Structure 1
Amino acid sequence: MAEGMKRRPVVAIDGPAGAGKSTLAAHLARTFGFVNLETGAMYRALALKAIESDLDFDEEGPLLALVGDTRIGLEPQRDGNRVMLDGMDVSRRIRDTDVTQAASRISVHPHLRAWMVDLQRAMGSQGGVVMEGRDIGTAVFPDAEVKIFLDADPAVRGNRRYRQATPSPTITEEAILKELKERDQRDRNRAESPLRPAEDAVILDSTALTLDEVLAKAEEIVRTHLPG
């Protein structure tokens, strides 16, 4: 970057499951020509490898041993990231329920999170990226120029997840809401990097907003931090 030029900002989007972080991050990346780095996909990719390796999600030691020969890559696409695990495209598989639940469990381990944070910081070191997760603005990029905490009432988030789920007689809105609340409890109360807004984050509550309203408000926030 030439001397005197202001770099494009890092946009950190945090919030609970089902708040719409992925949708917002993808939209902002397309709108401003930023790279969309979906950090949650990194945890899901490692969780998938843990599943395939038959590891206990609650034991950090074996998981740490696993990362030594694990390669996780995100390849931004117009319609979302292509997620690569050891050279294989796992973009679809990591969205399955078993992988999502496993990712929530492995993400509580402090040394594993530190390894992930190093990767995430390297990806966003030059700016011009949108990163979404649960501790981007508080732990991964505490100096990010733009911090948005996207939230919504649990019942609203559960309904959104239910409508997005593949139709199945075994999947009910009540079950999804129960799992979401349990995940909220884990994320907000874990010892390492608990889910919470950064002190300088803009709180964007989408409970009573349409998608277009959420996107417009977020765009306005980002525009105030673009280089002149």
Structure 2
Amino acid sequence: MQPVVAIDGPAGAGKSTLAAHLARRFGFLNLETGAMYRALALKAIEQDLDFDEEAPLLELAHYTKIALEPQREGNRVLVDGIDVSRRIRDTDVTQAASKVSVHPHLRAWMVDQQRALGEKGGVVMEGRDIGTAVFPDAEVKIFLDAAPEVRGNRRYRQAEPVPQVTEEAILKELKERDYRDRNRAESPLRPAEDAVILDSTSMTLEQVLARAEDIVRAHFSVQDGTFQSTGAGTTKK
């Protein structure tokens, strides 16, 4: 069995960038579980479903085929065979995904799909409940965080050269997202008890990537391209 690296954290913390880097660095697959919620949210938008009604969304999920195809530059996301990789990054889909993801039965269904994707190991999975709900026995758990203002500024700069909204509006939406994620009934956003907390508020991207690599190496010794558990426990930092 290859190891599972679980990366959790709030919106805008840089989980996707970190997961993609670690996957490339250690030869793992990068499975972005948040893209699965966005993919379902996109289909709900197209079918004009109410995001507050769980039953229709759950029914929709059961006959929707969501596929993640890891690429070097990031995941290719398919919904019923159609590539929606770019569309699911749009603001309306991101906001819809936040509302869709609060429903407990829908989250349980998603967790089953995500476990199936990562059951063989050798993956980096990022989301909001990977280390607590999807893979509580993951060998490496990182909770990536940053101050809301820093995350909001990053989101704003990523929207350049022509941001469609103000930085203040992005920060407001991000804080609302944080509240929903941290207070939902099913799998609320929180660090796993054995996760390493990596706060990137005052760190450069290069520092974050280097620190995360050190966290992985602290749990596994690399020999001839394979991983062997060192048996080291995880501590919060």
| Superposition TM-score tier, normalisation by shorter sequence | over 0.9
What aligned pairs does 1:155-166 form with structure 2 within 5 A after superposition? 155-166=149-160
Opposite residue 155 of structure 2, the aligned amino acid is R
Equivalent in the alignment of 2:125 = 131
Equivalent in the alignment of 2:203 = 209
Distance 1:79 1:169, change over 3 A: closer
What aligned pairs does 1:68-107 form with structure 2 within 5 A after superposition? 68-107=62-101
Give me the whole-angstrom Cα distance separating, in 2, the residues matched to 1:58 and 1:162. Answer: 28
Asked if 1:148 corresponds to 2:142, the answer is yes
- Residue 64 of structure 1 deviates from its aligned partner by 1.0
Asked if 1:196 corresponds to 2:196, the answer is no
Equivalent in the alignment of 2:231 = none
Q: Give secondary structure in 2 for the equivalent of 1:204.
A: strand
Q: Give secondary structure in 1 for the equivalent of 2:126.
A: strand
TM-score normalized by the length of structure 1: 0.95
Give me the whole-angstrom Cα distance separating, in 1, the residues matched to 2:117 and 2:81. Answer: 18
Q: Are 1:147 and 1:202, in contact at CA under 8 Å, matched by a contact in 2?
A: yes
Give me the whole-angstrom Cα distance separating, in 1, the residues matched to 2:69 and 2:43. Answer: 19
- Residue 170 of structure 1 deviates from its aligned partner by 4.3
Equivalent in the alignment of 1:34 = 28
Asked if 1:57 corresponds to 2:68, the answer is no
Give me the whole-angstrom Cα distance separating, in 2, the residues matched to 1:169 and 1:210. Answer: 23
Equivalent in the alignment of 1:221 = 215
Give me the whole-angstrom Cα distance separating, in 2, the residues matched to 1:36 and 1:185. Answer: 27
Distance 1:73 1:170, change over 3 A: closer
TM-score normalized by the length of structure 2: 0.92
Q: Which whole-Å deviations, capped at 9, do the CAs of 1:60-80 have from their partners, x for residues lacking one? A: 010111122100000000100
- Residue 169 of structure 1 deviates from its aligned partner by 6.3
CA RMSD of aligned residues (A): 1.0
Q: Are 1:72 and 1:85, in contact at CA under 8 Å, matched by a contact in 2?
A: yes
Q: Give secondary structure in 1 for the equivalent of 2:192.
A: coil
Opposite residue 213 of structure 1, the aligned amino acid is Q
Equivalent in the alignment of 2:232 = none
Opposite residue 68 of structure 1, the aligned amino acid is H
Q: Which whole-Å deviations, capped at 9, do the CAs of 1:140-170 have from their partners, x for residues lacking one? A: 1000000000000100000000000144464
Q: Give secondary structure in 2 for the equivalent of 1:224.
A: helix
Structure 1 unpaired stretches of 5+: 1-6
Q: Are 2:156 and 2:163, in contact at CA under 8 Å, matched by a contact in 1?
A: no
Q: Which whole-Å deviations, capped at 9, do the CAs of 1:65-121 have from their partners, x for residues lacking one? A: 112210000000010000000000000000000000000000000110011000100
Match of 1:179 among 161, 173, 188: 173
- Residue 9 of structure 1 deviates from its aligned partner by 1.1
Match of 1:115 among 109, 113, 119: 109
Q: Are 1:12 and 1:130, in contact at CA under 8 Å, matched by a contact in 2?
A: yes
Give me the whole-angstrom Cα distance separating, in 2, the residues matched to 1:26 and 1:221. Answer: 15
Q: Give secondary structure in 1 for the equivalent of 2:219.
A: coil
Structure 1: 4+ residue segments shifted above 3 A: 166-170
Give me the whole-angstrom Cα distance separating, in 2, the residues matched to 1:169 and 1:86. Answer: 31
Q: Are 1:9 and 1:225, in contact at CA under 8 Å, matched by a contact in 2?
A: no
Q: How many residues align?
A: 222
Give me the whole-angstrom Cα distance separating, in 2, the residues matched to 1:154 and 1:220. Answer: 25
Give me the whole-angstrom Cα distance separating, in 2, the residues matched to 1:67 and 1:203. Answer: 32
Equivalent in the alignment of 1:10 = 4
